[in-house]
Chain A
Amino acid sequence: MTSTRRQFLVNGARISAALPFASGLSFGASRDNDTVLVVLQLSGGNDGLNTVVPHRQDAYFRLRPTLSIARGDLVALDDEHGLHPSLGGIGRLFDDGRVAVVHGVGYPEPNRSHFRSMEIWHTADPIDAPTGVGWMGRLSDQLARRTVGALPALHIGDGELPLALYARDSFAPTVRDASGFELRGSAAFRARRDALLRDDRAAGELTAFLRSAASTSYRAAARMEQAAARHSGTEYPGYALAQRLRLVAQLVSGGFDTRLFHVELGGFDTHARQAPAHTDLLRELSESVAAFQRDLTTSGVAKRVLTLVFSEFGRRAAENGSRGTDHGAAAPVLLIGDGVRGGLHGRAPDLARLEEGDVPFSTDFRSVYTTLERDWLGLEPSTSHAALDVLG
């Protein structure tokens, strides 16, 4: 706590108003208190070197005799880097200044277990055993304390709740699709439900609490229904990821108060015959995100929404004997939205200086988190790692 407070002072006025819970509902003047963070997780370990390709380094072609991508096929970013050919949609957003690429994001002593490394990213803690509270869960708790009855975080998907969203005092529901807040019950029941809730008389503290929660919940369900019924007219591709992002856009533009969303795209554990699978996955990512950004712009909420794209680790610099890649270490993360300072940030990987065959990290992921937690959301950060200058 002490170091966090010092960090606030060091970093000046912007975050001074975000001192923990001192002022309840008040926020700093720098951002509206309605910014939204979408965390898009690429599960399995995305191959960073074939996502943001360092095509000026001969070592790249040497290390990857079958998997390297020819310079001419890449989506140009700067003189030295290009995106995978499937990432055309994200490339266009980059050209508009709406994508910040942060090179070489990771942490010291990288762990190559999917489970452990994901746990590290989810808890923002590479050292201690997890306490079962995730970095987004900590944010969710802070938001829940500010606005009683709010629904600070949602997991959109069909898997289990990610550890990142585990909170101490609040609970993030998992919503598969827009029907996730659908209330069951016969028509006769629905017509009478509210009559039973209507009672102001003292009924004990717990019942009063539940009554208030139930009312909040029924209102949220109604808002979800309305929000999900709104169509901005934006066309989305048929991918599962696109449909999930569409729901996020509907909820945000429909006035839903959720500020943290977690969505996932799996299948990145490409140990063998990587190229076709990786091509398809990155196309799903790019086209889904592009549609999402178009939708947010059309709906007039693009300024409020920032998407973090990360994976639990990158992959080995050298390809393996199965035309695939094995578990590696650092990799680029993408920050996408109108609120970012577009461009390439951080120190690009130097393939002449690998550590145990891996790209070592040059930016700690916890600095990315601080940027999002404190500077984007106006909340108390998980750690005292310094923020990055990647927001607009």
Chain B
Amino acid sequence: MSADVLRAWRPSKGEWDRAAATHLTRRAGFGGGPGEAATLANEPAHDALDDWLSRDAYDERVTKGVHALLPGGDTQRVAAWWMSLILSGGAPLRERATLMWHDHFATSDAKVDDVRMMYRQNELFREHGLGDFRVLLHSVAKDPAMLVWLDGGANRRGQPNENFAREVMELFALGIGNYTERDVQEAARGLTGWGTEGRAFRMRAEDHDDGEKELFGERGNLTGDDVIDRVLAQPACARHVARRLLEEFVTSSPEPAWVDDVARALITNEWHIGRTIERIVRSELFFSPAARRSRIAAPVELVAMTARGLSARIAPREATEAAARMGQALLRPPTVKGWDGMRAWINAGTWVARHNAMTTAAESTTVDWGAVLEGEDGGTPEALAATLVSVLVPDLLGGTLEARLADALRSADGSRDARASLGAALVLTAPEYHVV
């Protein structure tokens, strides 16, 4: 019974298809390029999963390029640089995890106001985001941007500031109901003295409260590191992380039993996030109806999967600005809770932003329609509709969207590229496309 939910998927013939491959690329990354889902679907599922999950390479010219941006002090240029890593698709799962942790340990430049600290935190998520969660949490707790964001510097002996202590329990590691107010206060005392100096972590011994504390019912002369260790030792911690992984990779409302199974898998894997995610991605659950088309695409996902799917050359800065207009400004999450996601993405204003970004992409002159349509000529409205739906929303092939699209394209004329661009604009602005 236990761990059943993570049983490896062994698809029967026909189950591993373009729709399943598209689900893999969009959920465990930011989508594939033209023809990529078809190529993956033609391989055995096991090989395709190996292929996708092993992609973990960066173009050094791009990664190094960030150092030229930092002196300018403009954090939005670093956000655009990050977007270029996402758009390149070299390390889809690692970038996906980086974004997940940015959302989880949500820190905003609105307060940090320092491009180097924001960059450093972003690299921290990239470096440890698929590694040991215990290392990740310890690193985040000492991360300069986080210390500024949650007032580490103000947390001193005799005048504790509970900001970080509270969030590490409420949002980062345990969840409400798994600690008391007393635990927050005592943890804050243990963390006193942790601050920054010149953009680096600094322990100010003179500000540390070295008295005895009582945390989670145990007494001790706790340091900040001890506090983080005790948080990690709480049974709620693995479940909290497990729920986060399930929300990101499976569904926003995971069953409690799934959370238990994934928490167990996390501990079995020595808290290794990457290996746990791999188990999830290779599982029956990941490809089950509960997971398929269960999310409203977040703005960054939407922009990236569209640019990649059409191989449209969109400047990274334009992509981050488009996502910001839809409500997701990278490096500026609204609160320490991160983005609420799902329906909260959508209102009249953000839908206009989605609409405009999608039509702009579909009408971009940089799209190679021959590649997008995978060589199909789309000669009839029906053929064009079928091709576009199979490329952009393969789960819905043969459904009413395809029929409505064929109807809408009936009176369209002009070159193949013009008709393809029109059809793509219709699909990309259709609500169906925004469900992933």
Contacts from A to B (Cβ < 8 Å)? 115, 129-133, 144, 149, 151, 154, 160, 163, 166, 168-175, 181-186, 188-189, 192-193, 195-199, 201, 203-204, 206-207, 209-211, 213-214, 216-217, 220-221
29 A–B pairs (Cβ distance < 8 Å), ordered by A? A129-B151, A132-B335, A132-B336, A133-B335, A166-B334, A168-B340, A171-B327, A171-B347, A172-B349, A173-B325, A173-B348, A181-B349, A183-B352, A183-B355, A185-B355, A185-B363, A185-B429, A186-B425, A192-B426, A196-B408, A196-B426, A199-B401, A203-B431, A206-B294, A206-B295, A210-B346, A213-B351, A216-B351, A220-B352
Q: Give the nearest-CB partner of A183 in chain B.
A: B355
8 Å CB contact of A151 from B161, B163, B349, B412: B349
What residues of A have a CB within 8 angstroms of the CB of B336 in the complex? 131-132
A-B Cβ contacts below 8 A, count: 142
Contact A197 B347, beta carbon cutoff 8 Å: no
Do A196 and B405 form a contact, CB below 8 Å, given A129-B151, A210-B435, A217-B352?
yes
Given contacts A197-B431, A210-B346, 15 further A-B contacts (CB under 8 A): A115-B111, A129-B150, A168-B340, A169-B340, A171-B350, A175-B349, A183-B359, A184-B355, A188-B412, A192-B409, A196-B401, A209-B346, A210-B432, A211-B431, A217-B348
8 Å CB contact of B334 from A132, A174, A214, A216: A132
| B288 within 8 A of partner (CB) | no
Which of A149, A199, A220 gathers most chain B CB within 10 Å? A199
What residues of B have a CB within 8 angstroms of the CB of A182 in the complex? 356
What residues of A have a CB within 8 angstroms of the CB of B416 in the complex? none
What residues of B have a CB within 8 angstroms of the CB of A217 in the complex? 347-349, 351-352, 355
Contact A188 B422, beta carbon cutoff 8 Å: yes
| B343 within 8 A of partner (CB) | yes
Q: Give the nearest-CB partner of A198 in chain B.
A: B404
Contact A214 B347, beta carbon cutoff 8 Å: no
CA distance A209 to B346 in the complex (A): 9
What residues of B have a CB within 8 angstroms of the CB of A174 in the complex? 325
CA distance A359 to B397 in the complex (A): 69
What residues of B have a CB within 8 angstroms of the CB of A201 in the complex? 400
Contact B163 A185, beta carbon cutoff 8 Å: no
B436, chain A: closest CB distance, angstroms: 10
What residues of B have a CB within 8 angstroms of the CB of A207 in the complex? 431-432, 435
CA distance A211 to B407 in the complex (A): 19
What residues of A have a CB within 8 angstroms of the CB of B353 in the complex? 173
| B138 within 8 A of partner (CB) | no
Contact B430 A196, beta carbon cutoff 8 Å: yes
A369, chain B: closest CB distance, angstroms: 20
Which of B336, B353, B363, B430 gathers most chain A CB within 10 Å? B430
What residues of A have a CB within 8 angstroms of the CB of B344 in the complex? 169-171
Q: What does the 1/0 interface line of B134-167 toward A look like (CB < 8 Å)?
A: 0000000000000000110000000001010000
What residues of A have a CB within 8 angstroms of the CB of B151 in the complex? 129
Do A213 and B348 form a contact, CB below 8 Å, given A132-B337, A186-B422, A196-B404?
yes
A135, chain B: closest CB distance, angstroms: 14
Taking CB atoms and an 8 Å cut-off, the chain B residues in 78-112 that contact chain A are 108, 110-111
CA distance A196 to B335 in the complex (A): 36
Contact B359 A189, beta carbon cutoff 8 Å: yes
Q: Give the nearest-CB partner of B150 in chain A.
A: A129
Do A189 and B348 form a contact, CB below 8 Å, given A131-B335, A132-B335, A217-B355?
no
Taking CB atoms and an 8 Å cut-off, the chain B residues in 16-37 that contact chain A are none
| B199 within 8 A of partner (CB) | no
CA distance A163 to B334 in the complex (A): 9
Q: Give the nearest-CB partner of B351 in chain A.
A: A217
CA distance A217 to B351 in the complex (A): 6
Q: Give the nearest-CB partner of A212 in chain B.
A: B431
Q: Give the nearest-CB partner of B425 in chain A.
A: A189
CA distance A369 to B227 in the complex (A): 40
| B360 within 8 A of partner (CB) | yes
Which of A172, A181, A217 gathers most chain B CB within 10 Å? A217
What residues of B have a CB within 8 angstroms of the CB of A171 in the complex? 327, 344-345, 347, 349-350
A123, chain B: closest CB distance, angstroms: 11
What residues of A have a CB within 8 angstroms of the CB of B356 in the complex? 182-184
What residues of A have a CB within 8 angstroms of the CB of B163 in the complex? 129
Contact B404 A214, beta carbon cutoff 8 Å: no
| B434 within 8 A of partner (CB) | yes
CA distance A268 to B161 in the complex (A): 33
B82, chain A: closest CB distance, angstroms: 18
8 closest Cβ pairs, A-B complex:
A173-B349, A132-B335, A210-B431, A217-B351, A185-B359, A220-B348, A217-B348, A192-B408
| B304 within 8 A of partner (CB) | no
Contact B400 A173, beta carbon cutoff 8 Å: no
| B293 within 8 A of partner (CB) | yes
Do A186 and B363 form a contact, CB below 8 Å, given A196-B426, A206-B296, A213-B346?
yes
CA distance A221 to B294 in the complex (A): 28
Q: Give the nearest-CB partner of B405 in chain A.
A: A196
Which of B349, B363, B425 gathers most chain A CB within 10 Å? B349
Which of B344, B408, B409 gathers most chain A CB within 10 Å? B408
What residues of B have a CB within 8 angstroms of the CB of A213 in the complex? 346-348, 351, 431
Contact B408 A214, beta carbon cutoff 8 Å: no
Which of A133, A144, A160, A214 gathers most chain B CB within 10 Å? A214
What residues of B have a CB within 8 angstroms of the CB of A170 in the complex? 344, 347
Contact B426 A193, beta carbon cutoff 8 Å: yes
Do A209 and B343 form a contact, CB below 8 Å, given A133-B335, A189-B425?
yes
CA distance A201 to B432 in the complex (A): 13
Contact A199 B348, beta carbon cutoff 8 Å: no
Q: Give the nearest-CB partner of A119 in chain B.
A: B111
What residues of B have a CB within 8 angstroms of the CB of A195 in the complex? 404, 407-408
CA distance A133 to B435 in the complex (A): 27
Contact A210 B296, beta carbon cutoff 8 Å: yes
Taking CB atoms and an 8 Å cut-off, the chain B residues in 289-319 that contact chain A are 293-296
What residues of B have a CB within 8 angstroms of the CB of A154 in the complex? 349
What residues of B have a CB within 8 angstroms of the CB of A209 in the complex? 343, 346
What residues of B have a CB within 8 angstroms of the CB of A133 in the complex? 335
A132, chain B: closest CB distance, angstroms: 3
Q: Give the nearest-CB partner of B418 in chain A.
A: A188
Do A206 and B435 form a contact, CB below 8 Å, given A129-B150, A185-B425, A199-B404?
yes
